[in-house]
Amino acid sequence: MYYFKRYFLIIIIIVLILLNLIPTPYFLVIPGQAVNLSENITVENGEKDAEGQFILTSTAIIKANLLLYIYGFFDPNIDLKNRNDEILLNMDQKDYINIMEKLMQESQIISKVVALRKVGYSPEISGRGILINEILDNSPVKNKMLPGDVIIKIDEKTVHTLENFSEIIKNYSSNQIVRITFLRDNTAYSTSIPLIELPSTDDKKERIGIGVYADTKDLQCRFPLKIEIKLIF
C-alpha cells in the first residue's frame, strides 16, 4: 500500500509537470485591478467629494499552457482567446504598444464626451476619417485595403470619426454590400464589399462591420469645460 501511494504521487507530479510544459494556442484573459480615478480626474468647477465612484477596470493576458487552459476552461471569470483568432495577440510588440497608446488617448476623449453629454453638454467632435491599423483574416477588405488607408465614405455618407462610422454601419445588415471610399497616399479609391458579422461581445448583441482594427484619424474635440485626466500608476 505504501509503494502504491508513493508511485501514485509520482505519477500525479509527472502529469502536472507535463501539463505545465505543454503549450496551447490560447491566452487567458483574467480580471485585473480596479482603480478609483477620483484623484486622477479633475473637472472645471467639479466636486471631488461628489457621491459615487468612477472606477478604471483592467484585464491581464497570460499565455496558457495545458494546465492553465484546463483551469481557465472551468473558471467562469476567465475568458479563453485563441491566438490565431486575435490579430492583436499576433502583432509585433512595438505595433501593439502604439495601437494601445492611441486607443488609450482616444478612449479618454470619448469618456469626456460621454460624461459631458450625460449632463447636457454637446461637445464638438471632429476627425478626418478612420485610420485602419490592422485587418482581420476574414475581412472582406483583405487584399483590397491596407493598414494606413483612411476610410472617408460609406456609400454616399461621409465618415469623420469612428463613432460616426459605427452610427452609419448600424443601419445596415450582415452581407449587405456597401461602397467604401478611402484615401491611400492622398489618392482616393473605392471598393464594394459585403458587411460581416463581428465576434460577439459580453452584451450578446449582433455587431456588423468590415473586420478591421481602426481609430479616428486626427481626432479632435472642443470641450465646454476643462477636464484633466492623469493616468500614471
Q: Which residues have C-beta within 8 Å of that of residue 215, sequence separation ≥ 6?
A: 99, 102, 103, 106, 130, 131, 133, 162
> What b/e string do you get for 161-182 counting C-beta neighbours within 10 Å, with b at 16 or more?
bbbbbeebbeebeeeeebebbb
pLDDT score of 130:
93
Give the three-state DSSP class for 55.
strand
pLDDT score of 111:
80
pLDDT score of 151:
96
pLDDT score of 32:
76
Helices (H), the chain: 2-21, 66-74, 93-118, 162-169
pLDDT score of 76:
83
Copy the grid coordinates of residue 46: 467639479
**Torsion over CA: 98, 101, 103, 106 (sign):** negative
> Cell 460581416 sits at which residue?
196
pLDDT score of 49:
64
pLDDT score of 121:
84
Give the tens place of pLDDT for each residue, 173-216.
888 999 999 999 989 999 999 999 876 555 456 678 998 888 88
Positions of the chain with pLDDT lower than 70, given as ranges: 1-5, 8, 19, 38-39, 44-54, 83-93, 95-96, 199-206, 231-233
Task: Give the total residue count for the chain.
Answer: 233
Give the strand pairing for 41-43 and 23-36.
unpaired
Task: Supply the mean pLDDT for the chain.
Answer: 80
